[in-house]
């Protein structure tokens, strides 16, 4: 079995991104019974989603887990829905700001994640890491790559479980903000994502919304 796990490069005023650090921690790690391919995506409207889809086509994974940073979150947030909307609160790393535009003009209003989201949440909680289900991946690149991934898989009629997981800030990011924001240690995030991978390895076809 093969998984693809992606993160994002730093964006905005930050020089680090917890999702990239988790991906780097997983890169090259040996797992029992499955392989993990990794990639760090550009925070750019066009290049970010295209890089993700290139890796999907190259590696042909059995499941895809995209990771991203969400400042203010207090737990690992497993996203349930990606919406067909671009509405950037800040510029991407190319300086582009998009407001009130669809991701895919002819696409559906939203897609549900095709991962067994509740099963994954319960597994992460059982591993001792705060975890929650989330109904909003926002309207920036995180939501966009989730939507474009699910749109691509649906269009190709590929039964590949896929979804998005938001991570809190790292402590060093939170400490530099006033007032300090919620954070989680990198070790806890890596444990959460490896727990998700092991859970998917054992129950890859679990019901999506259960």
Q: Which of 69, 148, 151, 166 is catalytic?
A: 166
d(CA 128, CA 82): 27
- Which is catalytic among the residues 37, 69, 79, 148? 79
166 is annotated as an active-site residue: yes
Answer yes or no: 148 catalytic. no
**Which one of 55, 66, 142, 151 is the catalytic residue?**
142
Residue spans of the domains in the chain: they are: 2-202
pLDDT value at residue 204: 52
Predicted confidence at residue 36, as pLDDT, reads 97
Residue 101 has a pLDDT of 98
State in words which class domain 2-202 has. alpha beta
Residues of the chain with pLDDT under 70: 204-210
User: Which pLDDT score is estimated for 209?
Assistant: 46
187 carries an active-site annotation: no
Enter the pTM of the model. Answer: 0.94
């Amino acid at each position: 079995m093969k998984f693809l796990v992606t993160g994002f490069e730093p964006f905005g005023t930050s020089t680090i991104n917890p999702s990239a650090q988790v991906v780097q921690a997983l890169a090259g790690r040996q797992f029992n019974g499955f392989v993990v391919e990794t990639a760090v995506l550009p925070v750019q409207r066009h290049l970010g989603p295209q890089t993700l889809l290139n890796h999907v086509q190259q590696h042909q994974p059995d499941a895809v887990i995209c990771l991203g940073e969400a400042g203010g979150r207090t737990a690992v947030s497993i996203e349930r829905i990606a919406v067909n909307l671009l509405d950037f609160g800040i510029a991407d790393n190319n300086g582009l700001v998009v407001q009130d535009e669809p991701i895919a003009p002819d696409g559906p209003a939203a897609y549900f994640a095709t991962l067994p989201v509740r099963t994954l949440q319960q597994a992460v909680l059982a591993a001792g890491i705060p975890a929650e289900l989330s109904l909003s991946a926002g309207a920036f690149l995180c939501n966009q790559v989730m939507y474009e991934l699910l749109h691509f898989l649906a269009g190709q009629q590929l039964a590949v479980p896929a979804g998005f997981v938001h991570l809190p800030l790292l402590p060093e990011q939170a400490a530099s903000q006033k007032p300090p924001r919620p954070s989680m240690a990198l070790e806890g995030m890596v444990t959460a994502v490896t727990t998700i991978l092991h859970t998917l390895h054992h129950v890859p076809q679990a019901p999506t919304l259960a």
